[in-house]
Structure 1
Amino acid sequence: MNIVNKLTLRHLKQNKKRTLVTIIGTIISVAMITAVATLAISFMDLMQRQTIAQDGEWHVLYYNVNSEQLEALEDDKETDKVVISKDRGYALLEGSKNEYKPYLFVKQYNAAGFEQFPVTLKEGRLPQAANEVVVSEHIKSNGGVEFAIRDTVELEVGKRYLLDSQEMPNSFQQFDPLQVDEGEWKEGLFQLSPETYKIVGVVERPSWEPTWAPGYTIISYLDEAMIGADEKVQASVVLKDVNRNLYDHAKEVAEHNNIEKYSFNNQLLRFYGVTNNNGLQTTLYSLSAIIMTVIVIGSVALIYNAFGISVSERSRHLGMLSSVGATKKQKRNSVFFEGVVIGAISIPIGIIAGIVGIGVTFWYINSIIQGALGIEEKLQVVITPFSILVACLVSMITIFISTYIPARRASKISAIDAIRQTQDIKLTEKAVKTSSVVRKIFGIEAEIGLKNLKRNKRRYRTTVFSLVISIILFLTVSYFTDNLKKVLELSQDGVNYDIQVLLGSDQQETDLMKESILSLENITEYTYLEESDLATWIEEEAISDIFKKNLEHDRSILKDGKYPYGIHIKALNLERLEAYAKEIGVEIEHLQDPENIRAIVVDTVPYEDYEAGKIYETKVLHTEVGEHLELYSQNWETGEYKLLKEIEIGGLTDKLPMGITPGHIGGITMIISEEVLQSIIADVEKVHVNKYLYLNSKDPMKTQEQIEEIQEGDMHVYNVYQARQQEEQLVLLMSVFTYGFITLITIISIANIFNTISTSISLRKREFAMLKSVGMTPKSFNKMINYESIFYGIKSLLYGLPLSFGIMYLIYKATRNTFYFGFLLPWTSIGIVIIAVFMIVGSAMLYSISKVKKENIIEALKQENV
């Protein structure tokens, strides 16, 4: 070790407080990088396990596979396991108390199926022969029919088809609810064959059984050896290695073995970071790159500030080295050596701290995600050699970047300037020149404060830089999370409720059912509305841009220059309509007049372009408030249209009350009052009005069971909670972690800001003493400090906000690879940031000043800056 490095080590030991602050800052930064890498892998692992627990583990599904094709799939080099399954069909469940669940649904699996799919045994054993079954406990709890182990059941198993159809369409599956209209069945069982099963066990209700499914699941054994040459089954393949090549490989396998149809478990594959949607792949990579860049910049900023302050305070030491013959290279290497020493101590500790910190975070948060979010699996710390290697490399690169600029600056410090400590202070007239307007408007205190910032630019920039990083991180993560929610909203077609209940046509019966349902304990929010469909014709220039493009190829759909549109009438009761109108800024009185009728029109809807693989947010029509639309009813027998009323557009919005979905580009959603609806349809002989109750519940599954227990008359319950549960869990989890991350970064940045300002104030003791010695009063002194705080805040916002907007726009452009919607700034978050910046700087200044206020003027003027 050369003499310069030995002196550097001695200096680090002598200045223990500064060294410790630098080490702690670096440890925190390394821990943060490690935590982010570990968090990303652990988060993906959680979602993989949760998806497998809900839907089973498989990657590629091949449909209608015969025994020869099945053998080829099993022999494929990429195949790990093959799950064979078959939907045997439906049989009537005698004695079912749930009129919308009148069937038993027979599902068959081979031995691998019971391992790869979530089949949880409660009693007995799993089936081992084709004539054995396990039954769902839901049959007893929901259907009121009890089966005992060792019972034998004889069933007539067949397929569900529409009644009275001229040609048999594709049979209905479990995702298709019971086909019933006003209490009358529209479907039946055909192609029946007798089956006798022995019950050998009871299982939990399968998570993959939809809540609206018409059949209770029972599971039988499928023996591969018994599959006939002409018999067709479904083959779910579990691959040895999950990567993006699986899409091309599946296509090759299907073509080579003449398999006509196959699909992928995209729900699971996306948590391996694999997707066959190029736009979505670009979106994911772009968003990841942007967020990781922001994280790395934040880490560099933290370590750079720590080293920057260290080098600034070491300037006299470096100057003395220079005075005794140290070269520029030796001074530069001295700083690099300090970085190596700090890194050697900080990186191992930081990696361990990051892993331990994530472990503690997971331990604390597991109870939240399992309780509030309904996630069964626990977060586990997943550590891979790759993640540790990435954390080490990023940390080393970060430390190198953080020391490079201070090292270059240190090499250029002359011996005289370093010993006199004049390198940070610029006293040229140009450097400290301020506008005369500042003194005229704010006084001499503001001018002195501004001059100090100008002459001490290095520490000023360090503080501003820390604030700018905090602003960028907070706004970027906020916008990223808001975009996730917007993407989820578009992908779910605007569904914003847990349970939909279609009520019967009898008003008295409907009122009784509504009252009974709303008295249930877990319901948190509801909307009751009446719906009816009408029609209108829109002038060509006002129609959707998508329709205008279609007219370039075919104008035959126009009638007298107008384009046909559907009208979806949604009538809310007065209480709900009043709250909704207030939310979007429409006077409720304008919506209640049956003579001069007005409606709120939802003019923006999501539109999916299947060819491009993108989801757009587009205008249904181009119109303005005050315009009128003609409402027509159509006679479906004759095809004739009858003019009913002319309705005025009372408001345009893209916001939807609970229970109302945005519809599609060929239909206009109109929200009106119940009285206005009755006025519109008063002259129509036959009009179909559906009555719906939309519910949000603390426990949607339990609420559905309670509704089905009190069900009377013509009513249909549709639970959408299960279908959208996983996507909402994903966004909520990401929100928890992203906001947790930004909180950590903000706390570190605040600590850095306090440290920087405190050090700066401490080094200005002589300056403050001089100002007081020439007559500056405590009031003027406080004003000067307050103005400095304001200047810090304004400068930080002037840099931070535009940079944040730029990163937000990059995130927006990344999402446009898959989703198209307007770019909107998060004004609430911006307001929070503006207030927080001035509070942080003000607090840091007050804290620092409180430490030097009581200094003796004479002593302060005599002392050296240290």
Structure 2
Amino acid sequence: MNALTKITLRNIKLNRKRAWVTIIGIMLATALIVVVADMAESFRSSMVEYEKAHSGDYHYCFYDVDPENLKYFEGNRNIEKLGYSVDLGYTELTGSRNEKKPYLYLKAMDESAMQVANVTLTEGRLPENDHEIVISDSIRTNGGVEYRVGDTIRLTNSNREDAKGNEEDQSCEYTEGEQLTDSGKAAGEYTVVGIMERLMRSQEPYYAPGYTVITRITDVTQYSDITVYASYTKAGLKRREEVTAGLLKLSPEIYQKYQNGEPLNEEEQQQLEESQKIASYVTCNIWLLKYQMMLFSDGSLKMLYSMAGIAIVIIIVTSVFCIRNSFVISLTEKLHLYGMLSSIGATGKQRKKLIYGEALILGAVGIPLGILLGLLAGWLVVKGTGHLMQSSLQVTLAYVISWPAILVSIVLAVITILLSAGQSAGKAAKISPIQAIRGNDTIRISRKEIRMPKWLSRLFGIGGTIAYKNLKRARVKYRTTIISIVVSVAVFIGMSSFMSVAMKIADTYYTDSSYQLMVPLNGKDQMENARKILNLDGVKEAEICQRDYISVPVDEVKYSKQYQTLMGNTGEEDYSDETFMIVALNPEAFQAYAKKLGCTVKDGNSQAILISDVTKTVMQNGEEKYMTGELYDYQTGDVIQGTMEMSDTPISVQIIKTTTERPMSVENIGGVGMLIVSNTELTDYQKEMIDRLEVYIHCEDPDGLQKVIEDDMEFVNFNVVNLKQSYDATKSLFTLIGVFLYGFIIVIALIGITNIFNTITTNMELRSREFATLKSIGMTRREFRRIIWLESVFYGVKSLLIGIPAGILLSVGFHMAMGTNLETAYHLPWTGILISIGAVFVLLFGIMRYSMGRINRKNIIETIQSENI
């Protein structure tokens, strides 16, 4: 151990308190970097697992591969895992109540392909040979046909052709007139050995006409048109385009041109056609690749890592600014030491080494502690917020300890420490022995700059004068403290305003909707099912809604004067037809709506209520403008004649009321005029309207009613839209963001607090001789306390005068960015402001009181005589 190291260690031991304060600052900064880096990596890893579960655990998929071409895939060093799947065909599902899914669809898979498809059993086991099958649970829940484990099913494995004789697969929805034809594949008896959850959408789209059942591939060479799922190695992923082109016996240049849609010459086209004999086409699991390879072309990844990068930069800058103060104070305190070392021949380089050596020793303690604290904090955050991410993003957040992230955190922490110590090291290297021993180089201020306003002197007396001049004299030293408070105050006010606006958006989205559940029913003859929902317990109010559009010649439309004036100035050509939405409600809902508006529905045909307020987009002198207001000028008794857009069938309705008040089924629809009618008055047009009913429900227990509809109502082709769940998901997302933001604020504030504590307490220690001198000439304890309190007030007021406006600007920015659709005016974040004011003064007075207590316990004569604190 050389002399410089011994001096450094001795100084650290002599100033244990300041050393530990600096270590805590380093530890918090390191912990925050570790948390940010590890959380970003945990989110990425969670998204990788999410994509594997929802889109498949593979990188590339090769279709229609013959057995003799499997040699190109097997044994390839760039492929880590292969899976094989074969589509065998359709079988009619007798008794299916879902007219859009009348088939079973048999696929053969090996074990790897079943993992790719994420086959999840609810009962039984996976098939072990090609005479056993596992079936989808949706055959029972959606199709109404129940099979049990142990049942035997005969599957014909047929082809499917539409009415024109075109062969179709699972990507083509069911159409009227299609039929099953002989595929040439052998039919067989299969034993049900397991029941699985419905496969992911990439394996079985929602509109697929067949329920998937799976058997086991025992010998892949007995099949043709094999689908090959390939998972590449890490090395293969780096050269993925070259590897894929090589598997197809195609040059990488031609493969890339083909993938980019670029034109190929005749020779290149021939090579492409040859490659298609190996695989007819190739698809890429792009989202899995993006997350695994960190391809930043994806917006979400860009946002994630940009946010993490910005957060880390903020942490480093804030930490450097805070931690450096410890080294500045250390330099000020040890000027005599550096002056004496310089006087006996220590070079500037050696003095610089003293500062950097101290920094690295403190870092050697603080960084490992910070890493452990960061890992613990990250684990607690994941455990505490995992359910919020699951409910908001449907992603299960798994905590991953990323060693590269930890290594990056260590490097960044070391950089932070070196930057913090850099300025002090530079000053220590340049200081002259005489200046250091005299100690007169730390204060540089002119007589004019230290002049005190007379009103302050009159208001606060001699104590105020001393407090004010001390701050002016040492303003460079205290600037860090002020900025630390300003950053903490501004960030807290801004983020509290962000959370307030976020929660207001979530609350408005839910409470402004008159309905809580919406049930779309697709297909014909669904009115009876819709009426069953109306009669359920817990339904307070409901509307059955069916929509379509009618076209009316534009010269027959009665436009308002406001709209005519606007359109006259557009400079655009007129269009021939105006479109209205026709909304057919069930009679009870239509009668209730009419009664609410104060109009009477008479017996007759095609009476309509016109909703005339529209937000319409128009072009004015080449620019897009929005016209909001009453677009039409129809009166009671007017008739609108037009044609149904789906069939050109003529239709005529009579206006019984013009209003801007909407029924709940169309309260969130704009951009078009709406004619609200009773569906009993459109009997002649029912066959022309879209085969879709929507039931809008106002209730007190949306979750309970949704469960009743899904479990007890034997419907098909429907799903329940629960606004409360959307509200809860939105609120969970904002709460999740809030947890991270407030966690970030707390740690930044802790770094700032340690810095403030270090600055103020050390400053008070360094001024012990000054205070002892003042006491020795007769300053009373009361006047001394007054000086300290006034310094706290000056600190706090100056910090708040800067921090509060900065926080308000942040809150205004959040309101403008997030609250554009809120009708409420901007409100100052008084809660955040008041909490900040209280916290700042409590903190300052607490630290000052602690420091004063230490000083008051010291002997005045010994303090005056002391040369080294």
Normalising by the residue count of structure 2, what TM-score does the alignment of the two structures yield? 0.70
Equivalent residue letter for 1:191? T
Tell me how far 1:314 sits from its aligned partner.
3.6
Structure 1 residues 412 and 297 mapped into 2: Cα distance closer, same or farther (>3 Å)?
Answer: same
Q: Structure 1 CA distance, aligned partners of 2:743 and 2:663?
A: 30
Aligned residue for 1:50? 50
Query: What is the number of equivalent residue pairs in this alignment?
Result: 781
**Structure 1 counterpart SS, 2:83:** strand
Q: Is the 8 A contact 1:122 1:204 kept in 2?
A: yes
Q: Is the 8 A contact 2:617 2:627 kept in 1?
A: no
Residue of structure 2 aligned with 1:407, choices 414, 421, 425: 425
Equivalent residue letter for 1:502? L
Tell me how far 1:84 sits from its aligned partner.
2.5
Q: Structure 2 CA distance, aligned partners of 1:526 and 1:311?
A: 75
Deviations 1:523-547 (A, max 9, x none): xx999866554568799xx99xxxx
**Structure 2 counterpart SS, 1:94:** coil
Aligned residue for 1:460? 478
Structure 1 residues 595 and 349 mapped into 2: Cα distance closer, same or farther (>3 Å)?
Answer: same
Aligned residue for 1:136? 136
Tell me how far 1:9 sits from its aligned partner.
1.6
Deviations 1:339-362 (A, max 9, x none): 121123333343344334434554
Aligned residue for 1:501? 520
Matched, 1:246 2:265: no
Q: Structure 2 CA distance, aligned partners of 1:629 and 1:309?
A: 77
Tell me how far 1:846 sits from its aligned partner.
2.3
Equivalent residue letter for 1:110? D
Q: Structure 1 CA distance, aligned partners of 2:293 and 2:726?
A: 22
Q: Structure 2 CA distance, aligned partners of 1:449 and 1:515?
A: 77
Q: Structure 1 CA distance, aligned partners of 2:710 and 2:609?
A: 42
Tell me how far 1:695 sits from its aligned partner.
8.3
Tell me how far 1:239 sits from its aligned partner.
1.2
Aligned residue for 1:220? 215
Q: Is the 8 A contact 2:296 2:302 kept in 1?
A: no
Aligned residue for 1:11? 11
Matched, 1:191 2:192: no
Equivalent residue letter for 2:719? V
Q: Larger radius of gyration, structure 1 or 2?
A: 2
Structure 1 residues 785 and 401 mapped into 2: Cα distance closer, same or farther (>3 Å)?
Answer: closer
Structure 1 residues 106 and 374 mapped into 2: Cα distance closer, same or farther (>3 Å)?
Answer: farther
Q: Structure 2 CA distance, aligned partners of 1:678 and 1:383?
A: 61
Q: Structure 2 CA distance, aligned partners of 1:5 and 1:506?
A: 86
Query: Bigger CA drift: 15-24 or 766-775?
Result: 766-775
Matched, 1:756 2:759: yes
Structure 1 residues 749 and 321 mapped into 2: Cα distance closer, same or farther (>3 Å)?
Answer: same
**Structure 2 counterpart SS, 1:330:** helix
Q: Structure 1 CA distance, aligned partners of 2:158 and 2:538?
A: 38
Aligned residue for 1:201? 193
Structure 1 residues 283 and 141 mapped into 2: Cα distance closer, same or farther (>3 Å)?
Answer: closer
Tell me how far 1:30 sits from its aligned partner.
2.3
Query: Bigger CA drift: 253-262 or 57-66?
Result: 253-262
Residue of structure 2 aligned with 1:235, choices 223, 228, 238: 228
Tell me how far 1:598 sits from its aligned partner.
5.5
Aligned residue for 2:712? 710
Equivalences for residues 212-611 of structure 1 within 5 A: 215-222=210-217, 225-226=220-221, 231-241=224-234, 243=237, 245-246=239-240, 250=244, 253=248, 256=272, 257-258=275-276, 259=279, 261-275=281-295, 277=297, 286-322=306-342, 326-359=346-379, 361-362=381-382, 379-384=398-403, 386-413=404-431, 423-432=441-450, 452-470=470-488, 500-502=519-521, 510-516=530-536, 531-534=547-550, 561-562=574-575, 601=614
Deviations 1:449-503 (A, max 9, x none): 6655433223432123323554676699899999999xx9xxxxxx999974338
Q: Structure 2 CA distance, aligned partners of 1:355 and 1:150?
A: 50
Tell me how far 1:233 sits from its aligned partner.
3.9
Equivalent residue letter for 1:237? A
Deviations 1:814-846 (A, max 9, x none): xxxxxxx99xxx988977765554343222122
Tell me how far 1:23 sits from its aligned partner.
1.8
Q: Is the 8 A contact 1:339 1:399 kept in 2?
A: yes
**Structure 1 counterpart SS, 2:20:** helix
Tell me how far 1:704 sits from its aligned partner.
6.6
Q: Is the 8 A contact 1:472 1:800 kept in 2?
A: yes
Tell me how far 1:662 sits from its aligned partner.
8.2
Aligned residue for 2:509? none
Q: Is the 8 A contact 2:608 2:653 kept in 1?
A: no
Tell me how far 1:205 sits from its aligned partner.
0.7
Deviations 1:425-469 (A, max 9, x none): 455234335778989999999987665543322343212332355
Equivalent residue letter for 2:112? A
Equivalent residue letter for 2:40? A
Aligned residue for 2:265? none
Residue of structure 2 aligned with 1:746, choices 749, 754, 773: 749
Equivalent residue letter for 1:716? F
Aligned residue for 2:627? 623
Aligned residue for 1:610? none
Q: Is the 8 A contact 1:497 1:695 kept in 2?
A: yes
Matched, 1:789 2:779: no
**Structure 2 counterpart SS, 1:83:** strand
Aligned residue for 1:153? 153
Tell me how far 1:261 sits from its aligned partner.
3.8
Q: Is the 8 A contact 2:496 2:832 kept in 1?
A: no
Q: Structure 1 CA distance, aligned partners of 2:338 and 2:659?
A: 75
Query: Bigger CA drift: 838-847 or 102-111?
Result: 102-111
Aligned residue for 1:183? none
Deviations 1:168-188 (A, max 9, x none): 5855549x5x77xxxxxx575
Tell me how far 1:407 sits from its aligned partner.
1.6
Could you list the runs of 5+ residues in structure 1 that have no partner in the other structure? Answer: 180-185, 489-494, 544-550, 577-587, 606-618, 813-820
Deviations 1:586-622 (A, max 9, x none): xx999999999666656799xxxxxxxxxxxxx9852
Structure 1 residues 350 and 780 mapped into 2: Cα distance closer, same or farther (>3 Å)?
Answer: closer
Q: Is the 8 A contact 1:473 1:742 kept in 2?
A: yes
**Structure 2 counterpart SS, 1:114:** helix
Structure 1 residues 497 and 566 mapped into 2: Cα distance closer, same or farther (>3 Å)?
Answer: farther
Could you list the runs of 5+ residues in structure 2 that have no partner in the other structure? Answer: 249-254, 259-271, 507-512, 564-569, 590-595, 602-606, 635-639
Equivalent residue letter for 1:266? I
Q: Structure 1 CA distance, aligned partners of 2:5 and 2:600?
A: 84
Aligned residue for 1:634? 643
Q: Is the 8 A contact 1:301 1:402 kept in 2?
A: yes
Q: Structure 1 CA distance, aligned partners of 2:832 and 2:490?
A: 10
**Structure 1 counterpart SS, 2:719:** strand
Tell me how far 1:64 sits from its aligned partner.
4.1
Tell me how far 1:12 sits from its aligned partner.
0.8
**Structure 2 counterpart SS, 1:381:** coil
Equivalences for residues 646-795 of structure 1 within 5 A: 668=671, 677-678=676-677, 686=685, 688=689, 691-693=693-695, 706-711=708-713, 716-717=718-719, 737=740, 739-760=742-763, 773=780, 785-795=792-802
Q: Structure 1 CA distance, aligned partners of 2:399 and 2:289?
A: 20
Query: Bigger CA drift: 360-369 or 740-749?
Result: 360-369
Query: Bigger CA drift: 425-434 or 475-484?
Result: 475-484
Let me know the Cα RMSD of the aligned residues.
6.1
Deviations 1:793-818 (A, max 9, x none): 22345677879999x99xx9xxxxxx
**Structure 2 counterpart SS, 1:190:** strand
Structure 1 residues 590 and 33 mapped into 2: Cα distance closer, same or farther (>3 Å)?
Answer: farther
Q: Is the 8 A contact 2:85 2:107 kept in 1?
A: yes
Structure 1 residues 845 and 284 mapped into 2: Cα distance closer, same or farther (>3 Å)?
Answer: closer
Equivalent residue letter for 2:626? H
Query: Bigger CA drift: 345-354 or 394-403?
Result: 345-354
Query: Bigger CA drift: 766-775 or 394-403?
Result: 766-775
Deviations 1:216-268 (A, max 9, x none): 4321234564555xx43433221112746535654674665225543322332
Q: Is the 8 A contact 2:495 2:811 kept in 1?
A: no
Q: Is the 8 A contact 1:301 1:469 kept in 2?
A: no
